[in-house]
Amino acid sequence: MVIVAFESELWLWDARRDESWTFVSLPADESEEIRDRCGGLRRGFGSLRVRVTIGGSTWTTSIFPSSKTGSYALPVKRAIRRAEELEPGDIAAVTVELLDLAG
């Protein structure tokens, strides 16, 4: 089981600057460990299934590799941002658990 806990700033995707495309970035070291551990488990766009907790909200989604930063990007949907009173530029405490990981 791989669980990563970190703090990260919410940011908007450059291609779509409206707030419906808001993300946090996983730390570079943890992203490298995830790549090493997951091998061929990736799905479309290199995504990996995860369970995420921010504050009192927990949901299942995917993380995506970012060619720009070399780390994984985690989308934070509007309902979660509203529930946790977060906006782009805020710092969030995030816990990510990889799903479907062998060993």
Q: Is residue 103 part of a domain?
A: no
Q: What angle do CA 13, 86, 19 make, to 5 degrees?
A: 30
Per-residue pLDDT tens for 4-42? 999 999 999 776 556 678 999 999 999 988 888 876 655
Q: 67-102, pLDDT tens digit by residue? A: 778 899 999 999 999 999 999 999 999 999 999 764
CA distance 23 to 26: 10
Tell whether 57 is covered by a domain. Answer: yes
* Total structural domains within the chain: 1
CATH number reported for the structural domain that contains residue 13 in this entry? 2.40.30.100
61 located within any domain: yes
User: Does residue 26 sit within a domain?
Assistant: yes
Task: Give the predicted TM-score (pTM) of the model.
Answer: 0.85
Domain enclosing residue 27, as ranges: 3-98
